[in-house]
Structure 1
């Protein structure tokens, strides 16, 4: 897959993510999608397959009243693309870690996307 097509798919995925459009996100994913959220070097969430991804996406959707990923930069290597992300969100409910509904989260991180069969096959979010 060429870099322009990868970039377009990532932009569409981020648009769907920002607008809480889970079906729009799912439409771009390979049926064997692997998702990992890596925080401070440790995997804290991992899914395999569309249904596990859908479950975690629904859970995540309910945590935020607002969320926005902004892509700062892209780098391409073979069938992978790394994007630098600026993220902000507003919590919709209290979290077990003590954060309260209405609090704003602001993070910088990166996401790595890998592609197979013209679909997103791997997403790794690093923060």
Structure 2
């Protein structure tokens, strides 16, 4: 895959994410995709397979009334691409950690996308 192909797929995935388009997101993924969310060096969530990813994405979408990821920087390395992300969201409901509905979240992080056969096979989010 070319870097343009990779960036086009990642851009499509992020656009779908920003619009709560779960089918658009999963359309960019291999059937055996692995998703991992790492916060402060610890894995907080891991899914294996497109159906598990979709179920998690549908649940996560209910937590936000709006959300937006923007890519700040791209780093290409063979079949992997790491993007630096600015993330903003507004909560649709209270979270168990005490953050209340209507609160705005602003975070910086990075996502690493690994490709196989023209689709994303692994996503690792780090914050």
Q: TM-score, normalised by structure 1?
A: 0.99
What does residue 97 of structure 2 align with?
Answer: 97
SS state of the match for residue 95, structure 1?
coil
What does residue 114 of structure 1 align with?
Answer: 114
TM-superposed deviation, 1:16: 0.1
The separation in 2 between residues aligned to 1:109 and 1:33, in whole angstroms, is: 21
Q: How many residues align?
A: 127
What does residue 9 of structure 2 align with?
Answer: 9
Gaps of 5+ in 2: none
SS state of the match for residue 6, structure 1?
helix
For the aligned residue pairs, the C-alpha RMSD in angstroms reads 0.4
Q: Aligned runs of 1:64-103 on 2, under 5 Å? A: 64-103=64-103
Q: TM-score, normalised by structure 2?
A: 0.99
SS state of the match for residue 54, structure 2?
helix
Gaps of 5+ in 1: none
- Dislocated runs of 4+, deviation >3 Å: none
